[in-house]
Structure 1
């Protein structure tokens, strides 16, 4: 049985070297087969922050996800008890989805878990620790590599000290400011920075899209989708992570380098999870935090991540043309690399924004309007290309495959950049 054999090899490796070890120790202490099995498991940890979930701990995704997967296979029990709270139901769906996304890349995992449960649950915890360590290292390595790349945002490079960033400096504060309050910020930056430093929820809330997500030249306050996720910095961050720092300086690339992250992890398509990961890395670059944590003041980064993946999930499910074109644009810009020009332009509008607007509701109305127009003209709504659906936290992934899989064809889109006004 393949799963039992893999379990025995992993068990052998963990017995000799433990969940954290160096490559040199593996080479000298573990047989070739056991080392390959162990590294195959570890690879799942490397892909979790980019394609599954960047904030939830792998132990939570794997252990609770496995239990939820087992419960899903059993007949539904009907009782007279109270229903679970909606927050618990939503979180369980996210965990189950994430677990299924992991096993889509490693179909033997449920059987391996079963072998460990029957033989040695402590060793299973060691294996989860190995995966968690690989996840943490991957996220940390990406953050370290991006830490001093503020030029991607056209921010002064003298902001080398992390604690000097965030709401402590006007350049980074302008990018962290919600886009709909940006004109207010430009009129009196010091006042709004002081409010944010004192903990103002208005300036630090995940339900407002921050300015660093936008190409400000396209922004229209009546349509929060205009220019959203079109900031060139997000493209450069994805290039840096998936292809390599040198790819940021290149205008064209016909093939991926053999040893780049995209090739190693089997990522050939851009999906909502990758864009959300880039956005979270971008925010960490800009804020004053020195450690990767879920909360930054009153800003919930995990909820911010979920909101982004949900945006792409609903867009793909509804066949929204804007979302599909946006994914095609990313596919072309990240992997083909056309048009790397950067310009620091600002919006001409000085109108005051309404504090009562709901950006997500406006986006949904715009989608419904586009769908209605397509129906009236007899055109079918644009559908997703490839297997791109995302569960409540993001895209559903391509089961049984190794790619992130969202776009089958590519087309270059318009490009623009946003940066703080001088």
Structure 2
């Protein structure tokens, strides 16, 4: 639901609003407060018994609960960061070829704009990595890349269309591999999704791709490609929190709903083979269709 929220603050503020019977759409709340309260309510839905526990606990116990949840969040994120640091080298290496120079799977110093391959993937959409002057400015830091300057690897086939910036956005094969690695299993990356498979997401009750999970995977993949050593939300060099937040803001923008709905449908088909965005009508002349037809006729006769 959100990768960078402060759990303790979320719980403290959420309990107050819950006791006041506020709603996610309460006009007295700011946009940020509404968003945080929606995250809090989703957390209550995800964890059975948490609402009762929070509302009957002392302030000290609430702090302890927050610390435990935050510890779990931080640990899970660290595991994802560690696992992807190694795996992403396989995904960016062309099949049957090798990277030149070689990038060690567990060393980050040679990544980022220091390497031709990772530099090309991290190059902000709209800039030309093939341009020698641009490349040198990225390498030596003359061009500082802010979090809202999204890299080309977010796009399908690593191609950016300035006239249609939605075209291919957040649909790259690299992102799909990263998503499967975290939310299904590392072994599922090179396999077709199977309807019988129960990945990590399904085991934990996740039945569809969320906007926040796409932004989270993009943030983890971006960090793995950089030369930064330690993942930090406040690191001004990688600017990870701003990067994550700007993607979430776009996906939550109601004016972009049509494009976002299409994007989510595309993602669900990549990750969840049983997902259907359409209400399936029973096959014509099937027994089910006939039963429903008879039921409708019976209702008309009884009316």
TM-score (norm 2): 0.77
CA distance in 2, matches of 1:232, 1:220: 17
Question: Matches of residues 9-408 of structure 1 in structure 2 within 5 Å?
Answer: 52-71=1-20, 73=22, 89-106=30-47, 108-117=49-58, 121-149=59-87, 150-154=89-93, 156=99, 158-160=103-105, 161-181=107-127, 183=128, 185-188=129-132, 190-195=135-140, 197-198=141-142, 200-201=143-144, 204-216=145-157, 218-257=159-198, 260-314=199-253, 319-320=257-258, 322-336=259-273, 408=277
RMSD: 2.8
CA distance in 2, matches of 1:63, 1:166: 39
Q: Contact 2:250 / 2:256 at 8 angstroms: preserved in 1?
A: no
Q: Contact 1:270 / 1:327 at 8 angstroms: preserved in 2?
A: yes
Q: For residues 170 and 318 of structure 1, do their structure 2 counterparts lie closer, same or farther at Cα, with a shift above 3 Å needed? A: closer
Give SS of 1:180's match. Answer: coil
CA distance in 2, matches of 1:178, 1:67: 42
Q: Contact 1:215 / 1:231 at 8 angstroms: preserved in 2?
A: yes
TM-fit CA distance, 1:115: 1.2
Q: Contact 1:256 / 1:335 at 8 angstroms: preserved in 2?
A: no
Q: Contact 2:103 / 2:110 at 8 angstroms: preserved in 1?
A: no
Could you give the per-residue CA deviations for residues 318-349 of structure 1, whole angstroms, max 9, x where no partner exists? 641x3222212111112339xxxxxxxxxxxx
Q: Contact 1:269 / 1:407 at 8 angstroms: preserved in 2?
A: no
Instruction: Count the aligned residue pairs.
Output: 266
Give SS of 2:51's match. Answer: helix
Give SS of 2:189's match. Answer: helix
Q: Contact 1:65 / 1:98 at 8 angstroms: preserved in 2?
A: no
Comparing both chains, which one has the higher relative contact order based on Cα–Cα distances under 8 Å and sequence gaps of 6 or more?
A: 1
TM-fit CA distance, 1:190: 4.1
CA distance in 2, matches of 1:72, 1:298: 41
CA distance in 2, matches of 1:71, 1:299: 39
Q: For residues 217 and 273 of structure 1, do their structure 2 counterparts lie closer, same or farther at Cα, with a shift above 3 Å needed? A: closer
Structure 2, unaligned runs of 5 or more = 280-303
CA distance in 2, matches of 1:142, 1:221: 32
CA distance in 2, matches of 1:281, 1:409: 31
Could you give the per-residue CA deviations for residues 190-240 of structure 1, whole angstroms, max 9, x where no partner exists? 422234x35x33xx1122221110124653111211111111011111111
CA distance in 2, matches of 1:309, 1:212: 17
CA distance in 2, matches of 1:323, 1:305: 16
CA distance in 2, matches of 1:296, 1:224: 27
TM-fit CA distance, 1:169: 2.3
Q: Contact 2:155 / 2:172 at 8 angstroms: preserved in 1?
A: yes
